[in-house]
Structures are given as structure tokens and as C-alpha cells.
């Protein structure tokens, strides 16, 4: 049996690990013939190194990052832990990225807070984690244009809850200058946690509604499986 090791970053906030395990449960339901294991880079158990060390055959395993961006944890942290585990032959799938299925989920989350795609006075602030890699940030910024495609909104723009600019406040001001009378915050996050709570506090204090994170939506699991399948294809073609 092949193994998919769903690997999340890990967080002090238990909601993050709960979400990762919920995605793992969805994967098991969707692929009952697949050995699905959940692991974390840090903060939560089990750690990725421990999970890999316990595999009967790492050559039949794919580490699938439960990460939206191909930044530090996907490029450096996870490969380093694979090496430390001595998991010879294990493959690593790509990060989830700006997949159209995830943009569909983001639109659904906006609909949950009564946001209409036909509202011409609306500005949407898509809030994500920032990276020190400018190319990664540029790819993440594409989400704003994707989620706004086909709508009548005043506009949508990216903001970063960590570094770099623009901040959530800067993005909100930018949309108001463009004519938005109303704003909504759309978190480009997989799970609630410490950072999303900070954004929610800003939203509450400024009277701005905020949609839920993507969560353990079936399309999140479907995207993970797509990355897993692609890793197998790439390995077979190598």
C-alpha cells in the first residue's frame, strides 16, 4: 500500500492541528486504498521525522505539504526533515498553490458571510501569510484577481498578515481610495489560528466582516490528492 504523509506546519493553536486531521480524514474517505498519515513540521505531534521513521517502506511514500505557498517550509524545512529521517526514496509533492479549486472554496466562504459577486461597491481584502521570497508573494497575490474574476466588485487586493507590505490596513485604504464603500476580509488560510485571530480583531474593530478560512473543504483534499498523483507521475517519468 502506498502512503501519503499529509504534512502541516503545526501551531500552538489546536484548531490548526484539528483542521489538518480533518483533511486527512477526508483523504482516507476519498482514497480508502491509500495509507494516509498526518504529520507536522513543528509544535504538534506526530512530528514528520517520527512518522517517516516509522514507515515500513519509505520508497512507497509521498510527503504532501498541507501548505498554500511553496515557501520556506515546503522548500527547506520539509526536505531537511526528510533527510534527517533517513527516508530514502520518499517523494515530496508540491504545495497547494493558487489552485482554482481553492479559489472556489474562498468564494464559498465569502458567500457564507452574505457577500454577493454583483455588489459594485464592495472591496475584497484577501489576507495571506507573507514570505521573504518576493516570487512567492507575487504568486499569492494572484489569488485576489482570481477571486474577483467575473464579479462586479470595486476590486480585490492582497494583504499580508505578516511581512511584507501591504498590511491589511494599507490594502483596506487602497480599496477605499478606489471607491469601495464596503469591505470584506477573505482569509487565504487553511485553518483558524493565532494570526487569523489577529486579523479578525482588526476586522471587528473596524466594522469589516470576515469570511472563515478555507478549512477542511472537500476541494482542499482533492487538491492534495492532485499534488500526490502528480508526484507519482513525475517520479515515474524521471
Give pLDDT tens digits for 99-113. Answer: 999 999 999 999 999
Taking the C-alpha atoms of residue 161 and residue 141, their distance in angstroms, rounded to an integer, is: 13
Across 175-184, average pLDDT: 98
The three cell numbers locating residue 127: 489576507
How crowded is residue 62: how many other Cβ atoms within 10 Å of its Cβ?
A: 21
CATH topology of domain 3-97+216-237: Rossmann fold (3.40.50)
Across 2-19, average pLDDT: 97
> What is the sign, positive or negative, of the torsion defined by CA atoms of 189, 99, 238, 38?
positive
As a whole-number percent, the residues of the chain with pLDDT over 90 amount to: 92
Across 115-137, average pLDDT: 96
Taking the C-alpha atoms of residue 190 and residue 170, their distance in angstroms, rounded to an integer, is: 23
DSSP string, 85-154: HT-TT-EEPPP-TT-HHHHHHHHHHHHHTT--TT-TTEEEEEEE---S-HHHHHHHHHHHHHHHTT---S
Q: 34-44, pLDDT tens digit by residue?
A: 999 999 999 99
Q: Where in the chain are the domains?
A: 3-97+216-237, 100-206
Place of cell 470576515: 210
Q: Which of 114, 112, 164, 162 is nearest to 134 (CA)?
A: 164
Distances (CA, A) of 204 to 197, 200, 201, 208: 10, 6, 5, 6
Across 145-155, average pLDDT: 98
Taking the C-alpha atoms of residue 158 and residue 203, their distance in angstroms, rounded to an integer, is: 15
Phi and psi, residue 82, nearest 5°: -60, -45
Q: 24-80, pLDDT tens digit by residue?
A: 999 999 999 999 999 999 999 999 999 999 998 888 999 999 999 999 899 999 999
| Residue 238 confidence (pLDDT) | 67
Taking the C-alpha atoms of residue 119 and residue 5, their distance in angstroms, rounded to an integer, is: 42
Q: Which of 209, 210, 197, 133 is nearest to 161 (CA)?
A: 197
Give yes or no for residue 171 having a pLDDT over 80: yes
| CATH of 100-206 given 3.40.50.620, 3.40.50.11540, 3.40.50.1400, 3.30.70.120 | 3.40.50.1400
pTM exceeds 0.85, yes or no: yes
| Residue 151 confidence (pLDDT) | 98
| Residue 236 confidence (pLDDT) | 84
Same topology, domains 3-97+216-237 and 100-206? Answer is yes
Amino acid at each position: 500500500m502506498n502512503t501519503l504523509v499529509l504534512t502541516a506546519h503545526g501551531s500552538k493553536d489546536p484548531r490548526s492541528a484539528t483542521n489538518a486531521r480533518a483533511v486527512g480524514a477526508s483523504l482516507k474517505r476519498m482514497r480508502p486504498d491509500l495509507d494516509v498519515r498526518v504529520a507536522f513540521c513543528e509544535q504538534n505531534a506526530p512530528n514528520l521525522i517520527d512518522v517517516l521513521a516509522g514507515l515500513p517502506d519509505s520508497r512507497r511514500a509521498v510527503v504532501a505539504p498541507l501548505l498554500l505557498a511553496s515557501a520556506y517550509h515546503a522548500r527547506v524545512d520539509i526536505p531537511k526533515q526528510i533527510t534527517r529521517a533517513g527516508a530514502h526514496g520518499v517523494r515530496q509533492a508540491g504545495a497547494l498553490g493558487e489552485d482554482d479549486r481553492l479559489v472556489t472554496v474562498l468564494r464559498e466562504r465569502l458567500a457564507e458571510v452574505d457577500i454577493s459577486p454583483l455588489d459594485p461597491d464592495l472591496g475584497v481584502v484577501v489576507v495571506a501569510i507573507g514570505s521573504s521570497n518576493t516570487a512567492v508573494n507575487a504568486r499569492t497575490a494572484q489569488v485576489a484577481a482570481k477571486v474577483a474574476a467575473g464579479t462586479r466588485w470595486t476590486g480585490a487586493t492582497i494583504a499580508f498578515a505578516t511581512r511584507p507590505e501591504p498590511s491589511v490596513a494599507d490594502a483596506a485604504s487602497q480599496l477605499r481610495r478606489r471607491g469601495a464603500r464596503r469591505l470584506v476580509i477573505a482569509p487565504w488560510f487553511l485553518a483558524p489560528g493565532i494570526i487569523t485571530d489577529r486579523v479578525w480583531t482588526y476586522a471587528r474593530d473596524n466594522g469589516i466582516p470576515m469570511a472563515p478560512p478555507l478549512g477542511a473543504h472537500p476541494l482542499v483534499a482533492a487538491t492534495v490528492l492532485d499534488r500526490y498523483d502528480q508526484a507519482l507521475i513525475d517520479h515515474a517519468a524521471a
